[in-house]
Copies of this chain bind each other. A is one copy, B any other.
Amino acid sequence: MKIGMSHGAGGEVMQNLISDIILKNIKNKRVNGGVGLDDLDDGASIPLGDLEIVLSTDGHTVDPLFFPGGDIGKLSIAGTVNDIAVMGAKPLAITNGMVIREGFPADDLETIVKSMDAVCQETGVSIITGDTKVMEQGKLDEMIITTTGIGVVNKGEIKRDSSLKVGDKIILSGSVGDHGMALMSYREGFGFDTDLQSDVAPIWEIVEKALAIGGVTSMKDPTRGGLANALNEIANKSGVGLLVEEDKIPLKEPVIAVSEMLGIDPYEVANEGKVIIGVEKELADETLSAIRKTRYGAQAQIIGEVTEDNHVILETSLGGKRILEAPIADPVPRVC
């Protein structure tokens, strides 16, 4: 077998690769009984004293590096902050591994570092260590940034992507499809002159406010594979079903337009500034109000609820129902 693009595209094909080649061949998968490799959560944890240390890593290969709404610098910090946040941990610090193509303009590198710094300042995280490698012309397309984040949470308060309970409400923090569609339409030549922008943003503030209400059961950031992948993952791992009111899922006009034009499902493409939150029914409205007051949560919606079923069902306002499947692979490559 040879590695294909879909092995890096956040769907079923990637999951199989990770199970068959990575999990199978690694013996030591966790530390101190924390969240480990085979939990396949957004990150992992190491219990230490009264705290649990949370770690998460992502390599960023986005093409192009500068896209409508952001760049690889903003993406790398926000993406890592978000994976720490959805574990329920406060992000503290990030490590910055850069691999750069020989001949890359130093000015662009500086712009990217400044973007990283801006998100760090916004979220109160620090870049504490890093690494720089250079590859010859022709051996690497521009640059790759691999960020690893560390966060902390009180022992026992970690949030897993497998702990939805029947009856919980599902909150989505805003519109979906923006990031994948913005990249796709830019690549198709629509350029920066469009209303379509990536949603790339750190969602820690949303999570922090939601956690403070006390009813959060489970969270996930719907990145590669989009809403469809993330909803199926949290439902499957929790052993539950979801009933989602399709009309409640926020979708921007230009996202709908481009998705129809290109024949790409906006539910299957990556988001980079959104979070799906499962909340106890009684605290759902209060949690929603708190989220709506945050910088990136104004459009948040309760989109559905957790059922005893074992599928993710979309229901239209006319009562039509269909199963929302997880994609085999994200239809837009190299988005993050």
Contacts and interface: CB of A to CB of B under 8 A. Distances in A.
A103 B25 contact: no
A5 interface: yes
A104 B53 contact: no
Interface residues of A, number: 89
A237 to B, nearest CB: 15
Contacts of A129: 37, 41, 43-44, 55-57
Contacts of A213: none
A99 B46 contact: no
A208 B135 CA distance: 35
Interface centre among A2, A49, A136 (most CB of B within 10 A): A2
A99 B135 contact: no
A130 to B, nearest CB: 6
Nearest to A18: B132
A114 B46 CA distance: 23
Interface of A: 1-9, 14, 17-18, 21-22, 25-31, 34-37, 41, 43-46, 48-51, 53, 55-61, 92-93, 95-107, 109-110, 113-114, 116-117, 120-121, 124-136, 139-141, 144, 146, 148, 150, 152, 333-334, 336
Contacts of A55: 93, 95, 128-129, 148, 150
B28 A103 contact: no
Given A5-B102, A37-B129, A103-B2, A110 B21 contact: yes
B140 A139 contact: yes
Interface centre among A8, A51, A126 (most CB of B within 10 A): A126
Nearest to A116: B26
A113 B22 contact: yes
Contacts of A43: 129
Interface centre among A17, A51, A55 (most CB of B within 10 A): A55
Given A46-B128, A144-B99, A134 B26 contact: no
Contacts of A26: 113, 116-117, 120, 127
A334 B59 contact: no
20 contacts: A3-B106, A3-B109, A5-B102, A17-B106, A22-B130, A25-B110, A25-B117, A26-B113, A27-B117, A28-B117, A30-B126, A35-B128, A44-B93, A48-B49, A49-B50, A57-B96, A59-B99, A59-B132, A59-B133, A99-B144
Contacts of A92: 31, 46
